[in-house]
């Protein structure tokens, strides 16, 4: 379910080419997910990594995450620390 959530969130990402030729990317539905890269591909990879960390931190701290396309990660589940 988390993989699908990430995929759907990434589909909502917005990218912008900056004046210096680099890229920025963000997912407005997931506040704080912002990334930069020299290429669009690098920016996309960085944004996905940022999103993954954002989800993990949110779940561990009990933050309410946005529901994306009916995918709700806010259900109470035990998180296993490995």
Q: How confident is the model at residue 75 (pLDDT cuts 50, 70, 90)?
A: confident
Tokens of 25: 């990317």
**Residue 46: pLDDT over 80:** yes
Identify whether 73 is part of a domain: no
How many domains does the chain fold into?
A: 1
For the chain, what is the mean pLDDT? Answer: 94
pLDDT of residue 77: 58
Identify whether 30 is part of a domain: yes
Mean pLDDT, residues 20-41 taken together: 98
The Cα-based distances of 82 to 34, 35, 79 in angstroms read 27, 27, 10
Mean pLDDT, residues 13-38 taken together: 98
Helix (H) or strand (E) holding 41: helix 40-60
Identify whether 42 is part of a domain: yes
Identify whether 79 is part of a domain: no
Identify whether 81 is part of a domain: no
Whether the CB-CB separation of 64 and 57 falls below 8 Å is answered with no
- CATH number for the domain spanning 21: value is 3.30.160.250
pLDDT of residue 24: 99
Quote the domain boundaries for residue 8. Answer: 2-60
């Amino acid at each position: 379910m988390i993989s699908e959530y990430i995929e759907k969130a990434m589909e909502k990402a917005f990218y912008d080419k900056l004046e210096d030729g680099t890229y920025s990317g963000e997912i407005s539905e997931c506040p704080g997910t912002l990334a930069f890269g020299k290429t669009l591909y690098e920016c996309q990879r960085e944004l996905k990594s940022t999103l993954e960390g954002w989800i993990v931190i949110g779940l561990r701290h009990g933050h309410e995450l946005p529901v994306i396309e009916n995918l709700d990660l806010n259900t109470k589940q035990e998180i296993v620390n490995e």
